[in-house]
Amino acid sequence: MSRLLGGTLERVCKAVLLLCLLHFLVAVILYFDVYAQHLAFFTRFSARGPARALHPAASSNSNCSRPNTTAPSSGLPEVPSARPGPTAPVLPPCPDSPPGLVGRLLIEFTSPMPLERVQRENPGVLLGGRYTPPDCTPAQTVAVIIPFRHREHHLRYWLHYLHPILRRQRLRYGVYVINQHGEDTFNRAKLLNVGFLEALKEDATYDCFIFSDVDLVPMDDRNLYRCGDQPRHFAIAMDKFGFRLPYAGYFGGVSGLSKAQFLRINGFPNEYWGWGGEDDDIFNRISLTGMKISRPDIRIGRYRMIKHDRDKHNEPNPQRFTKIQNTKLTMKRDGIGSVRYQVLEVSRQPLFTNITVDIGRPPSWPPRG
C-alpha cells in the first residue's frame, strides 16, 4: 500500500514540475514580447526629436558628411533633413527679332569718350568684354575680333557704341582686340586668324566670329551681329563710299563667319602685308568653296567711319593684285593652318580682352619702277 502511494506521489510531483516549467516558459515569452513593444515605442519617440540625445551613436551616424553613402533604414518613412536649394530657372530662347532694338542711331565722334564713362554705361559687361543676356538663352556664342594697333581713340568710340548695340541684340559675346606688336607693316588678315585661334582657346563654345575694323560703327542696331547659313557682310554702305557698295566683290570692314565656314575656307590669308587685297582674297575663297555672301538690307547696313590719318606702316601692298589672281593656288597652303605667331601678353580689361602678338615681319619686296 505504501509502495502504491509513493508511486502516485512521484507522478504528481513530476506533473507539478512540468506545469511550473511550462508556466516559466510562457512568462519568458510574454516578457520579451512586452519588452519589444516598449522598445519600438521609445524608438519612434526618439526619432521625432526630443530624446535624440539619448542615442548619441545614432545621432553621429545621421550627421555623417561622407559623400555617396546611404544610412541604414529604420523601417519608417524617410524625412529629408533640409529642403533642397532652388534650381536655376530654365530661360527661354532669345527671340530672332529682339524687342528692345532702336533702329536708326545718331552716331557722332566729337564728344569726349573716356573708358571710365563707357564702363559706367555697361555695368552688365564682365571682365574681358564678356556678356550674356540675363533673360534668355542665345542660339550662338559670338566672338568679336578687332585687328588693332595705335587706335586707342577709335577703340573708345567703338566700345561706347557697340556694347549697347550687342546687348540690345541679346547676344552672348566676347570682344577681343588683337594688337600687333612693333612697328613693322600691318597685317590685318593675319591678326584676324590669330583672334580666331586665341578666342577659341579661351572659350571653345564660340561658334560665330565677327571680324570688325575698329573705326567702323553701325548706324542701325537692326543689323544683327549673328552668323547664318552663308558668310555675311555687314558693312555694305559706308559713309566714305557714299553709303554704297564700292564694287560687287567687296567684303571689307565688318564680316561674319561661323566656325565651320571659317575652317572651310582655311581662314584668311597671312601674306597680305600692308593695306588692301586681303578682303578680295577672302571673297575669292568663299566663292571657290561654293558658298555665297549674304548681306543686310542697305537701309540697315549703313556704317560711319571714324576719320584718321593713314598709318605710315599700312601702305598699299604692291603685290596684292598678283596675289588676288592666285587665290585658288594659295588658299590651301596659306591660311589658318599655316599662321605663325607668338602671344606676348593677354590682358583682360573691363570692356575687352587685349591680346598683344608678334606676327613676324613682312618679306622684302623688290623696288617698284
Q: Are 151 and 188 in contact (CB under 8 A)?
A: no
Active-site entry in 220, 271, 279, 334 = 279
Active-site entry in 151, 158, 198, 215 = 215
Q: Are 179 and 354 in contact (CB under 8 A)?
A: yes
Active-site entry in 198, 220, 271, 278 = 278
Query: What single-letter amino acid sits at 344?
Result: L
The verdict on whether 310 is a catalytic residue reads yes
Q: Are 90 and 81 in contact (CB under 8 A)?
A: no
Active-site entry in 308, 333, 340, 361 = 308
Active-site entry in 264, 275, 299, 315 = 275
The verdict on whether 202 is a catalytic residue reads no
The verdict on whether 305 is a catalytic residue reads yes
The verdict on whether 3 is a catalytic residue reads no
Active-site entry in 213, 220, 271, 280 = 213
d(CA 168, CA 180): 31
Active-site entry in 66, 83, 120, 310 = 310
- Show the 3-state SS of the chain: CHHHHHHHHHHHHHHHHHHHHHHHHHHHHHHHHHHHHHHHHHHHHHHCCCCHHHCHHHHHHHCCCCCCCCCCCCCCCCCCCCCCCCCCCCCCECCCCCCCCCCECCCCCCCCCCHHHHHHHCCCCECCCEECCCCCECCCEEEEEEEECCCHHHHHHHHHHHHHHHHHCCCEEEEEEEEECCCCCCCHHHHHHHHHHHHHHHCCCCCEEEEECCCEEECECCCCCCCCCCCEECCCEEHHHCCECCCCCCCCCEEEEEHHHHHHCCCCCCCCCCECCHHHHHHHHHHHCCCCCECCCCCCCEEEECCCCCCCCCCECCCHHHHHHCHHHHCCCCCCCCCCCEEEEEEECCCCEEEEEECCCCCCCCCCC
The verdict on whether 215 is a catalytic residue reads yes
Active-site entry in 153, 305, 311, 358 = 305
The verdict on whether 278 is a catalytic residue reads yes
The verdict on whether 365 is a catalytic residue reads no
Catalytic (active-site) positions: 213, 215, 275, 278-279, 305, 308, 310
